[in-house]
Amino acid sequence: MEPLPEVTDPRIIDGRKIAQDIEAKVKNEVEVFVKEHGTKPALATILVGEHPPSKLYVKLKHWAAKRVGIISEDHKFPHETEQEEIIGLIDTLNRRPEIHGILVQLPLPKHIDERIVMMKIAPIKDVDGFNPLNMGKMLIGSEGFVPCTPKGIIRALSEHNIDPKGMEVVVVGHSNVVGKPAAIMLLNRNATVKICHVFSKDLKSQTQKADILIVATGVRGLVKADMVKEGAIVFDVGITWQDEKVYGDVDFEDVLPKVKLISPVPGGVGPMTIAILMEHTLEAAKIQSE
């Protein structure tokens, strides 16, 4: 991938800079953890199949782990691997005390039930925040391990001194990975939240009302300037791979003149997501070492 240009426009959320700050803090705390416990935090990743973006995401996570001093184990399986084999590995990793975090890279092949797989990860090692227990805690406002991308959005708002309380939020996309948890986390912070999806009527009339607009559909260039409120804050969480380049759900150049803040693709929520995964792995190691 080509190096990203330096962010100079104050309207552009520099996810790389926020991620670097998170990683620097994690690295320092990992060094303290190692001195106190004589062992390093460790993350195990599970990848099933040959989905190119997933392979890249896993590689980026392992690179981040190396940067902050976290051990990372890479478990790869062919596409046709049966669900029982994946669950068997998760059971083994749950029992290994030296493994503190378990991450199953999504999406999984269609013959594997993601919900069952996520239920098998021990909640205390669920650093991606997808186990139903951790999702349920989030729903009642007791946020522990939550999905990393929505947490990155919350972190970016905090970095820019934005309190979402009372703001109108529209989330486009209702996945368990981004849309639903982002909506719940913003509700927990007393925003007024609406979720739109492929069956919503007149999307434009909904997005035009948003003080904070979060778009996570995987439809390249879905959101144009006429769909965005003047002075809105826009988080583009969509990823489309085309001709070996990555594109977002928001027509960035079209929308930029209207916004107060916007996250680019690439270089926006992606780096923050990975940095927060490192933060969660360290936190899991601390909890399991008490």
The answer to the question of whether 129 is labelled as a binding residue is: no
In Å, how far are 89, 144, 193, 283 from 148, measured between CA atoms?
23, 11, 19, 13
165 catalytic? Reply is no
CA–CA separation, 268 and 12 (whole Å):
9
The answer to the question of whether 174 is labelled as a binding residue is: yes
Among residues 14, 128, 211, 251, the one annotated as catalytic is: 128
CA–CA separation, 157 and 182 (whole Å):
12
258 catalytic? Reply is no
Among residues 61, 125, 151, 180, the one annotated as catalytic is: 61
The answer to the question of whether 173 is labelled as a binding residue is: yes
Alpha helices in the chain (DSSP H): 15-37, 52-68, 83-95, 114-120, 132-139, 148-159, 179-187, 203-207, 252-255, 269-288
CA–CA separation, 125 and 109 (whole Å):
23
105 catalytic? Reply is yes
Among residues 14, 40, 105, 180, the one annotated as catalytic is: 105
Longest Cα pair distance anywhere in the chain, in angstroms? 57
The answer to the question of whether 239 is labelled as a binding residue is: yes
CA–CA separation, 4 and 14 (whole Å):
11
Binding-site residues sit at 173-175, 239
Binding-site residues for NADP(+) sit at 173-175, 239
Active-site annotation, residues: 61, 105, 128
